[in-house]
């Protein structure tokens, strides 16, 4: 039986990886506090943040318990799995549904997010933007989008019939499609999925965390 959580705090900023976690917290209806960590000001390297995550990244989830030491979790995928398993929602306990959920979660974690981030670097952030690097990054994004669009043409959600942490992991990165010079109308199945998920109240609340934060 799990320990009783007495306080929960999310450390993060207005980033896709933080929003993966805040969306799930909202979908689960959990009480939690938020500490903004402005990554543009490099606050993720402050000593108090490095004490929680030596890699100097957000999100970080801190759970205090009635018994024993607090639990500190970093890496958005690990946090999603922990919360989903602890509360018995959005991740099936066994069978092919669980396998599919974890597989598509990994696609979001290791495919969609990294290639979109690389595209953003070579299209906007890099002081020099070699055309070969830019073209390669955009081609990688296009491949992932086409595969996701094919999957969502077969099923309403990434893991199949049910909304899951795989969708929550992918949604904030799809929301940054402009970083990769994408138009959602070019992938209609993604566009329809995105519109459905954006209509969920918990998603809207999760995307507003931290309050007033902007990733310029």
Distance, CA of 197 to CA of 40 (rounded, Å): 28
Per residue in 170-210, pLDDT tens? 999 999 999 999 999 999 999 999 999 999 999 999 999 99
Domains 5-90+204-208 and 95-200 are alike in CATH topology = no
Q: What are 55-66's pLDDT values in tens digits?
A: 999 999 999 998
Phi, psi dihedrals of residue 127, rounded to the nearest 5°: -65, -30
Q: How confident is the model at residue 216 (pLDDT cuts 50, 70, 90)?
A: low
Predicted TM-score (pTM) of the model is: 0.96
Q: Provide the pLDDT for residue 3.
A: 80
Domain ranges of the chain: 5-90+204-208, 95-200
pLDDT digits (tens, 9 = 90+) for 10-63: 999 999 999 999 999 999 999 999 999 999 999 999 999 999 999 999 999 999
Fold type of domain 5-90+204-208? Glutaredoxin (3.40.30)
Task: Please report which helix (H) or strand (E) contains residue 35, including its range.
Answer: strand 33-36
Which class would CATH give 95-200?
mainly alpha
Beta-carbon contacts of 133 under 8 Å, excluding residues fewer than 6 positions away, are 122, 126
CA distance 190 to 170: 11
Mean pLDDT over each residue of the chain, to the nearest integer: 96
Q: Are 52 and 71 in contact (CB under 8 A)?
A: no
Q: Indicate if the pLDDT at residue 110 is higher than 90.
A: yes
């Amino acid at each position: 039986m799990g320990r009783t959580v007495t306080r929960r705090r999310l450390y993060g900023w207005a980033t896709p990886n933080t929003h993966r976690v805040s969306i799930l917290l909202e979908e689960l209806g959990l009480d939690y506090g938020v500490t903004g960590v402005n990554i543009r000001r490099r606050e993720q390297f402050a000593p108090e943040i490095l004490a929680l995550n030596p890699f100097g990244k957000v999100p970080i989830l801190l759970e205090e318990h009635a018994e024993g030491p607090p639990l500190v979790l970093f890496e958005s995928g690990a946090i999603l799995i922990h919360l989903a398993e602890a509360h018995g929602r959005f991740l099936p306990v066994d069978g092919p549904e669980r396998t599919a959920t974890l597989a598509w979660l990994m696609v979001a974690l290791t495919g969609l997010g990294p290639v979109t981030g690389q595209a953003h670097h070579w299209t906007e952030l890099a002081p020099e933007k070699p055309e070969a690097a830019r073209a390669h990054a955009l081609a990688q994004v296009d491949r992932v989008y086409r595969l996701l669009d094919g999957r969502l043409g077969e099923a309403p959600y990434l893991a199949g019939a049910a909304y899951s942490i795989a969708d929550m992991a992918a949604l904030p990165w799809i929301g940054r499609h402009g970083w990769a010079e994408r138009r959602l109308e070019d992938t209609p199945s993604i566009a329809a999925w995105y519109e459905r998920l954006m209509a969920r109240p918990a998603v809207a609340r999760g995307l507003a965390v931290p309050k007033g934060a902007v990733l310029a």
